[in-house]
Every structure is written in structure tokens, then in C-alpha cells.
Structure 1
Amino acid sequence: MHLKPIIALKNVVIQEPSASIPISAISKRGLEFDIHVKVARFLRQYPSIFEEFTGPMHNLPWFRLTQEAVETDREERIVYEECREELRERLRRFVLMSKDKVMPLKIVKGMEWYLGLPSDFLEQPEVNLDGSFRFVDMEDGLKGLAVESEGRKVLSVLQRNAMKQGVYFGEPMEAIEFPLFPSKGLRLRRKVEDWIKEFQNVPYVSPYEDYSHLDPTSDVAEKRVVGFLHELLSLFVEHSAERRKLLCLKKYFGLPQKVHRAFERHPHIFYLSFRNKTCTAILKEAFRDKYAIEEHPLLKVRKKYIKLMKKSDVILRNRRSNNRFVDRGDLEKEKELEFELRG
């Protein structure tokens, strides 16, 4: 899926004073946008988003957004404006789950796409952040973002839902069961099913609570890791993320070295997709129970961009069909001319 580089390029184009840009200005920035083909070729793959025209000088190709893309960008900006507090709360929760309530800015920047934050969110702290956030110096010369919990207890999605159902009362080391969604056709051995039932009765430690007292080899520690991954994916726009992108979080969230095994050991909670040579971890509950996890405010906008991407496929397919029709017509004319010359 090329949605992320498309939106990044869209932002570059729309920020220009003329809302257009010559290909020469971005042709050598492919790696910056995680594009592995020529940038011009990439832009031409999406004619429903990027419109090509001849520039004012030297007949160079320029690109601007189509009207539909401009309107979708406008909707996106409205979401950022109206949902600033909601997005701020997601960032706050992300940092509060960390070991010391502080995260390196480079890690936060790397998670902006998943959290649904605009790329300039941290660059405008006076507008986007409140007094609970502060920038700090970390070890190794890193700059970090710290958050004060302000003395209030932060509940995870799992805790809030369990309280609504009357099966959790907020007591220390109280058990909470994870909603399970078995895949069709997946059969587990009897002893594995028994272990899952036992695991559900293990005490639940919220990702916002201190875990330093836990034995890292215990079932309680494993349930804490599963609970962390559940909460993290709940915060993300699409409730999914590339598995390798999550591995860089181990140090700051107190995760075990082989945290990736949690996805494999709990197939009723997580689903692993291996499309396009990429392993993506997906939270099943977000897709099986639409009332359990609040929809991210940016999700509808991203779906509109995806719809535009699919529209590009139709446009390109029609262009190819028209070209074939024209080519066949030219071939028939050549045959007729050759016949006349022979006659």
C-alpha cells in the first residue's frame, strides 16, 4: 500500500505557494518518501490524485493535485483542527506507557503515521501540546518528550470495556479476559486451548502501571506484554502496524527480546498478514467488534485517499484500453494502404 508516500508527496505539493511543483524539485527525494521507483513514474501511477501539466519554463513536467485530492486534503486539515485534543490524548497515552514516561523524539516521529499525527505536530508545541508535556534531554544525547500523569489513573481500552460490562472493578492484580476471535479453520491442540483458558484467568497488569516487580518469565508478565500490544494497536489509526516497526520500541516499553512471539502465541487476539513481503500485525478486536474500540478520527479521510488510489487504477486501465484501440486502428490503416500499393 502506497498511502503513506502519497500523502507525504501531497503535503509537499500543497504547501508550495502555487500548489504545484516541478518534477525536478522532488525527483531525487525518492528515499525520503520511501519510494523505490522514479518519483515521476510513481506520481503518474495516481492520476486521480496528481495531475501532470507542462511547466512555465523549459517544457518540464509539473504536478498539482486534482480537485478531488484538494477537497480530501481540506477534510484532512479540518480533522486535525477539530480533533487536536483527541490526537493529543493518543500521544499522551503512547508516552505514558513507556518505562519512564518519556520517549525519544525520533521514536515519536517514527510513530506519527500510526498515531495519526500530522508531520508538523511536534513542531508547533504551543498549539498542539499542553502543560503536561515537556521536552527533555535523555541519555546518549537524545532529545525526548516527557508526560506527567497529573495524578490521575489512566485506564486501558480493555479495562474501560470490562468496567462497562461489570466484569472488572479496578482492584490490584485483578484478572481481565481478552476478547478472543478464532480464525475460521484454525484448530488448536487441546492442551493449547486449556492453556489459553488458564491465561485468561491470569492477573492483568495495565500497560500504564509499574511492572518492575514482575518475573519476566511468568504468565503475568506475558499477559502484560499482550495487554501492551492490544492497547498500542488500539491507539493506531488502522489498528495495525508493520511488525518490524514495533521492535524498535522494546527498550522504551520494557518488552522482552522476543516480543514478536506474542503475536504468534495469541492468534485469537492478533492476526499476522504477510502481503507484499511485509509482516503486519493486526488487532482482531478492532475489526470484529466495532463498538469495542473507538474509531480514529482520521480513518475516514484515509479511506477516501484509498478510494482515490483505486480510481487511478480504473483511469490507467481505460487509458491502456484506448491506446490499444488506437494502435489497432493504425495497424488496419497501414494494412489498407499496403493493399492499395500492391494493387
Structure 2
Amino acid sequence: MIYRYPSIFELFRIPTPPTPFNATKSCTQLCVRLTPAAASLAAQECNLKSAMSITLATKLQKLLMLSSHRRLLLTKLVHLAPDLGLPPNFRSRLCNDHPDKFKTVDTSYGRALELVSWDPHLANPLPSPEVQSLGLIVDRPLKFKHLRLRKGLNLKRRHRDFLIKLQELPDVCPYKTSVGEFPKESIEAEKRACGVVREVLGMMVEKRTLVDHLTHFRKDFGLPNKLRGMLVRHPELFYVSLKGERDSVFLVEGYDDKGTLLEKDETSVIKEQLMGLVREGKKMRRERRNQSINNEVGGYDDTIDDHIDDGTKDGFDSLLDFEDIDGDYEDFGSDNEEEDDEYDLSRVGVNFWTADAHVVNDEEKGPSEPW
């Protein structure tokens, strides 16, 4: 791997003291170190992590303020930790470095993080996304109610009317309201659940996470059992991607029409710079190999690169995966909660927003469309 990325690692030799077996010869030892560019990125990342300690603690505090019992199991927080940008050792370091915000306690279900102080300045939801100008020539009220959706997304009139009705309801603050304040399966309870998911996705580094990760917090955040169905039912707020073995949910307002993240986290910027060094190393290795072939130099050792594949899959992405570091992020599997089933279209005669009525399914094809 060291030879594979010459833009990140470099080899050098240092002299070693003579031994009784080689008293007359000078010996050297082969060592490895980071290149100046890689060392600079490593220093930036180290300084950034220390400076972001308060920011990461604020994210955990807001999650605890969203929970109904102001307490979350550490085994559940592990699922969201990489998406939140938490370090692998957050359970032993970050959770204990801010006793004024939260503390770790023992429960019958395991170790949990409990809220210590309520911060009213953090109990403010994300501002509503700004409605872009429609480009009208005459500045006058619209004759029909407008629902801002992604380009190419068409909904049936019944579905559109429901989303407009939910949009006209008074805003529900997920921090200051509990799930018990609204009737179960009511439109007000669904608007609160959408606000909770919107707040959680807004804390993510890339404004996205796996749907399975959110299902672990259904009881803690007061989310419906059929959480995936609710996410698909609101394409104006969320986008559910079916790519891969596990579905992902994106916050629509965090991306532009081309699917580009609007606000990039500082950690993601450093990661992109590191990947640039990886691509530069591939280019250097390829040029070195071509030069060796063209000049027919026998001193070049082709055995170094025989086992290296110049394709895109070089295994370097696993080094950047937080879940592989020290084995701290374990896969705990799914909780013993109800499975997130699909909609059942056979049940009719109920309100649209209830869990029994599901109009956005395969025959809709709306929210499942790509960007």
C-alpha cells in the first residue's frame, strides 16, 4: 500500500549504529513517513477535530432534547455517529468531556446518554426553506396554491392537496411539543414527525442517512411505525433513494436541483482533498510505469505494481470509513421493533394522513424517481 500511494507516503533511510556482526559496515534502516501535503492535511484534520468538539457536543445535546425521555442509548447513537461526524471514540471521550450538557448513565437496556441542561437557544427548529421566485411578470397573488417540488416530480391531485393542507397548518416545534399532545395518526402528529426527521437530517454532515438508522429512534423521537412510508409520502421535504441494499433518505433543501450539497462540512472538504492526493498518486504511479516501459530501463522493479489494479476499486475507501476504525462502530443489527412495512392499498375509507391509507406506492412512481 505504501508503494501504491506515493503522493501520501514516502520512504527514506536513516543510519543505524553498527552491530557486532557488522562492525565495519554502515547500516541503514528503511522508514516511512507522510509526504508534506499529506502531513499538512493530517494536521488540519487534527486541529479541526479539537475545535469541533463543542459543535459535536451541541449535536448530541439537540438529539437528547428531541427525545421524549431526554435519554438515548449509546448503542443507538452508534448508528448515527459516522453521519453526524462524531469520532470513533465518542462514547469514551466526547460523552464525558461535557458534563454540563449531558452525562452517561446505566439503564436496564445498557449505557445511555442523559441530558443534564436544557438550552433554550438550541430549541429552535430549522428555518423554513426560502421559496424561490416563480419568475412572474406581474407581482400579484397566485390564483392557485403553489407546492414547491423537485423538477420532473408529478403527484396526483389527492396527494398534492394533502401536502398543501399540511403546509397550511401552524408550525409545530419538535423541541417544545411531545408526541402525546396530538391524537395518534393525526395530521398534526405527522407534521411534528416530519419536523423531527428534518432536524435530525439537518445535523448530518451530508444531510442524509440510512432509513434503517432512523428506525432505531422511533420510540425515542415519537416517529410512526411505518417511518419509510411517511418519508416517501413527503417528497417536498425528503428524497428516499433506492440505490444499494439499504434505502437512504436525503434532506431535499440541503441539495440543489443537480443533487449537489449546498453547504459542505469542513471535514468533508478535507476528505475531498485527501482523495485528490489519492488520484494524484495513481497518476504518478501510472506515469512511472509508462516511462519505465518506454525507456526500457531494467532497474525498475515491476513486481511492485504487479499486484496493483489501476481500476477504481483500490480498497482505499475503507481507510476513510469510520466504521472500520478500531472496531468501535459495531453493527448491532436492528432493534426488536416492528418492521417498517410498505403501504397497504387494500384498506380504504380512512383519512389520507393516517397510517392505514397509503397512496404513494409503486403506482405513484413519484418520490422514487431519481433527482
TM-score (norm 1): 0.64
Q: What are structure 2's unaligned runs of at least 5 residues?
A: 15-29, 132-145, 297-371
Give the distance between the partners of 1:121 and 1:252, measured in 2 at CA. 20
Amino acid at match of 1:319: R
Give the distance between the partners of 1:181 and 1:66, measured in 2 at CA. 49
Give the distance between the partners of 2:81 and 2:190, measured in 1 at CA. 27
1:323 to 261, 281, 289: 289
1:119 to 88, 98, 106: 88
Inter-CA distance 255–54: structure 2 relative to 1 (3 Å threshold)? farther
- 1:126-147 Cα offsets, whole Å, 9 max, x none, are 973132312212223x011100
Question: SS of the counterpart of 2:254?
Answer: helix
1:266 to 221, 234, 240: 234
1:255 to 219, 223, 229: 223
Instruction: Using the TM superposition, give the Cα deviation of residue 231 of structure 1 relative to its aligned residue in structure 2, in angstroms.
Output: 0.3
- 1:102-139 Cα offsets, whole Å, 9 max, x none, are 01122223322222222334423597313231221222
Answering whether residue 177 of structure 2 is matched by residue 207 of structure 1, we say no
Task: Check the 8 A contact 1:206/1:224 in 2, yes or no.
Answer: yes
Highest RCO, 1 vs 2 (Cα 8 Å, sep ≥ 6):
2
Inter-CA distance 84–198: structure 2 relative to 1 (3 Å threshold)? same
Give the distance between the partners of 2:33 and 2:148, measured in 1 at CA. 44
Answering whether residue 280 of structure 2 is matched by residue 308 of structure 1, we say no
Task: Check the 8 A contact 1:133/1:148 in 2, yes or no.
Answer: yes
Amino acid at match of 2:80: M
Instruction: Using the TM superposition, give the Cα deviation of residue 224 of structure 1 relative to its aligned residue in structure 2, in angstroms.
Output: 1.3
Instruction: Using the TM superposition, give the Cα deviation of residue 275 of structure 1 relative to its aligned residue in structure 2, in angstroms.
Output: 4.6
Question: SS of the counterpart of 1:212?
Answer: helix
Q: Percent identity?
A: 26
Counterpart for residue 26 of structure 1: none
Inter-CA distance 310–261: structure 2 relative to 1 (3 Å threshold)? farther
- 1:280-335 Cα offsets, whole Å, 9 max, x none, are 2211212349xxx9957xx12322222321442343245346535644776xxxxx
Counterpart for residue 106 of structure 1: 75
Aligned length: 266
Counterpart for residue 195 of structure 1: 162
Moved over 6 A (4+): none
Answering whether residue 227 of structure 2 is matched by residue 227 of structure 1, we say no
Inter-CA distance 314–210: structure 2 relative to 1 (3 Å threshold)? same
**Over the residues paired in the alignment, what is the CA RMSD in angstroms?**
3.8
2:151 to 178, 184, 190: 184
Give the distance between the partners of 1:46 and 1:215, measured in 2 at CA. 59
Question: SS of the counterpart of 2:86?
Answer: coil
Give the distance between the partners of 2:276 and 2:61, measured in 1 at CA. 35
Q: Which moved more, 1:98-107 or 1:270-279?
A: 270-279
Aligned pairs for 1:1-343 (under 5 A) are 48-49=7-8, 51=9, 53=11, 64-124=33-93, 128-140=97-109, 142-150=110-118, 152=120, 154-158=122-126, 161=127, 181-208=148-175, 209-275=177-243, 277-288=245-256, 299-317=265-283, 319-320=285-286, 322-323=288-289, 326-327=292-293
- 1:214-273 Cα offsets, whole Å, 9 max, x none, are 223111121111111100011112211122222222232222221112221112212233
Inter-CA distance 310–147: structure 2 relative to 1 (3 Å threshold)? same
Give the distance between the partners of 1:78 and 1:55, measured in 2 at CA. 30
More helix by share: 1
Task: Check the 8 A contact 1:156/1:231 in 2, yes or no.
Answer: no
Task: Check the 8 A contact 1:207/1:227 in 2, yes or no.
Answer: yes
Instruction: Using the TM superposition, give the Cα deviation of residue 183 of structure 1 relative to its aligned residue in structure 2, in angstroms.
Output: 1.7
Inter-CA distance 321–47: structure 2 relative to 1 (3 Å threshold)? closer
Give the distance between the partners of 2:5 and 2:66, measured in 1 at CA. 39
Inter-CA distance 274–47: structure 2 relative to 1 (3 Å threshold)? farther
Amino acid at match of 2:236: H
Inter-CA distance 127–251: structure 2 relative to 1 (3 Å threshold)? closer
